[in-house]
Amino acid sequence: MSLNLPAGVQVNAPLHPRFDQILSHDALALVAKLHRAFEGRRQELLKARVARQARIDAGELPDFLPETKPIREGDWKIAPLPKALERRRTEITGPVEAKMIINAYNSGADSYMTDFEDSNSPNWYNQIQGQVNLFDAIRRKLSFTNEVGKEYRLNDTIATLQIRPRGWHLDEKHVLVDGQRVSGGIFDFGLVFFHNAKEQVAAGAGPFFYLPKMESHLEARLWNDLFVMAQNECGIPQGTIKATVLVETILATFEMEEILYELREHSAGLNAGRWDYIFSCIKKFKKNKEFCLANRAAITMEVPFMRSYALQLVKICHKRGAPAMGGMSALIPIKNDPVANEKALAGIRHDKTRDANDGFDGGWVAHPGLVPIAHEEFVKVLGDKPNQWQKQRDEVFTAKDFLNFQPEQPITELGVRNNINVGIHYLGSWLAGNGCVPIHNLMEDAATAEIARSQVWQWVVSPKGILDDGRKVTADMVRGFIPEELAKVKATVTAQGEDTATYDQAAKIFEEMSLSADYPEFLTLPLYEAMD
């Protein structure tokens, strides 16, 4: 098998069956054209992130931008949405793996966000096989047979597909254009758009996307300009692409209206990406001695800074005629323990009831078994209505509300150990090629590992990193806990019949990342360099 490559394009990776179909000359030519047009701007925006972080490290606090005040005060709305995006009361998410795609499509959810980013371990095989899987799924031809011969096929009622490419900070190291690595987001988007957009348009269900990890409206402008070029290149009318932005960085909270405005011809609203949002808060204020969050379990959607951000998102979206999507409920059904299972289901009900009453038009779940519960809670509020775009909120939030980082306690030994345990478990699975992992009855993705190592790092360096029993969290304490938690993780993985080969490496990486003098911006960046 060989590829017919456009001029200036290199692919430095093995080819598996049908990879040549995805990595066709014309598809890669589109990727190369998008790269040449926008890579310079992407790099400028990444440098702007670094400069902004330096100012925050020096004591600057984020606030609304004075130069974009006319946008916030202007009378405008996003472009009308297609019918396929009017009803999104339940959205299910998961990686671009065949069995997951089929189960999600068949789950009864209104919408399915398939993920090339946080819930997908981005090795070469996963990324391109994921493209193959989506190519077949969009044409209703995807099937999967597991190791015991059970066959999975798409049923007649399928969810509306939305696709999440990688964020602006990630590269695709196996593909070079003019000697430069291509953006992972441009690569994922370009291939899936080239191969499937016309098929999706003909079916009245796409092309729809989710956009992750943005920190400013200028990053949204870059996506918008890329959409314009891609539609022109593929002969698709402007505004056909619709994209929902995940508000999963605290800086994006101060620019929600500007982000909607930049994407207004292509916008499908905003989503409250809670786990990455917590990670973003820790990352941005890591050197602020007044900032220190309690155990991860204590940081719910009802603490002050999370609550104000969520309600602001609903307010802004509905003011601008856009869907407001609630975040992920990571709880999953628990087999063989009816009491624990009912507690988990009650947690889902509580989460979705709150979101529906707040005005969200829908929310995420991580498991097909939770779709009926989430659906039921939204129907209680919405009735037969597909959404509640007409519901307006009138609160006025200030920067102080978004920066009210409570609670600071409790921080417990169990909380430290849980972060170490979950971080090692997730990283070991990620290194083995699985980016969506059930751990301690939660469905975890890369944001989990980011929160885990970030909290441990912060508790060590912060003067407020003190356990409820009075002990200071120290590097020596963490180093002492790591081998103990590694042994527990290995025992769990072995009991599940899985290989433990990657977990020693995962423990070493977790220690390096959580105790390094200089805080690494993203855990996945150095990990990606080490994988195939």
**So which residues are the catalytic ones?**
164, 445
Give phi and psi for 420, each to the nearest 5: -65, -45
Cβ neighbors of 445 (< 8 A, separation 6 or more) are 115, 118, 119, 275, 435, 436, 437
Inter-residue contact 250 to 284 (CB < 8 Å): yes
Q: Round to whole Å and give the CA distance between 346 and 352.
A: 10
Cα 480–chain centre separation: 32
Query: Over the Cα atoms of the chain, what is R_g?
Result: 22
Residue 184's nearest CA partner among 35, 357, 374 is 35
Cβ neighbors of 374 (< 8 A, separation 6 or more) are 89, 90, 329, 348, 352, 363, 365
Q: Round to whole Å and give the CA distance between 454 and 165.
A: 24
Tokens of 384: 């037969």
DSSP bridge pairs for 152: 144
Give the DSSP H/E element, type plus range, for residue 309.
helix 304-319
- Amino acid at position 238, single letter: Q
